[in-house]
Structure 1
Amino acid sequence: MTRQRYCDKHQNKEKENQRYYDRFVRDKKADRFYHSKEWQLVREQVLIRDHYLCQHCLKQKRVTKAEMVHHTQPLREHWHLRLVPSNLISLCNACHNQVHGGKKVAGVGPGGESKILGGRFHTPRPTFTQTFFPK
């Protein structure tokens, strides 16, 4: 057992994978944006507006603390909407992962349009694990 995420044998592999991801996959512009003061302020405003509750869960009559603020229109494709509160929604991690995983959730209309999020689901992208640890 170890206190670290990985044993000594696999720790170097994790560092190597993270370096590769940072160098070739990570969107540097988006990374800078998510660390900006402007984003932090708007993010906090949206969480307050939504009472720190996951809006998707509320539609399902569940009360769950929101931990993410999600862009309903993808940041890469709609950069001009990055700080527009009407393009942002508070979500819990599970719902945020569902949206980015492309999984259908209750409230999805014909054509894949989300009645909750007001837009189409994101194109499914492989997860970090799928990318670096294929089966």
Structure 2
Amino acid sequence: MVQLPKHYCEVHKDQEREYKPRDKTATHRYNTVVRNRDGNKSSQYQFYRTRHWVALRQATLSNQHYLCQYCKVQGRVTAAKTVDHIVPIEVDQTLKANQRNLAVVCPSCHTAKTRWEQSYYGTGKDNWLRPVRAINDVATIVKIMNDV
């Protein structure tokens, strides 16, 4: 048994420092304010909560064997569970349910790609979309990200 306020028993007490409770206020604010900051973002958020998205995501994970496609292009094998749009929904709404526009991505590649999207496309909060050509090839995106 665990004696409160501890979160782990004596056997697993070495993991105590790794436990970080979620900030419920920040999570609530993110889900209700940031994700719904405008009609476009609100519809994107709602899409991710549909059965269609859940099925697309699972099919993509299975087809790509839970491996980061961005690492794979660079000759690395990295397990991943996130499915990302190659061309962001903000750039082209018509590709949001297109499985060819989806790639499995690990956390570090996802962070790098998000930064790249913000600088290239102008996606994200407080940015303006730029009139640039959409890039739908993972290898090309990796090359551009590495050249920057």
> Counterpart of 2:93?
79
TM-fit CA distance, 1:5: 2.5
Q: Is 1:22 aligned to residue 31 of structure 2?
A: yes
The answer for the alignment partner of 1:69 in structure 2 is 83
Shift of 1:54: 0.8
Cα distance per residue 1:5-38 (max 9 Å; x no partner): 35xxxx8xx4333333233211332222112110
Structure 2 stretches of 5 or more lacking a match?
8-18, 36-40, 118-134
Shift of 1:114: 8.2
CA distance in 2 between counterparts of 1:115 and 1:32 reads 26
**What value does the CA root-mean-square deviation take over the aligned residues?**
3.1
Q: Structure 1 residues 15 and 46, CA, compared in 2 at 3 Å: closer, same or farther?
A: closer
Percent of counterpart pairs with the same letter? 27
1:5 paired with 2:16, answer: no
Shift of residue 48, structure 1, vs aligned partner? 2.0
Larger radius of gyration: 2
1:19-98 matched pairs, under 5 angstroms: 19-26=28-35, 27-98=41-112
- Unaligned runs of 5+ residues in structure 1 are 104-112, 122-135
Q: TM-score, normalised by structure 1?
A: 0.63
After TM superposition, the score normalised by the length of structure 2 is 0.58
Structure 1 residue 116 corresponds to structure 2 residue 138: yes
Q: Paired residues, what number?
A: 107
Cα offsets for 1:65-91 (capped at 9, x unmatched):
121111011112322111111111111
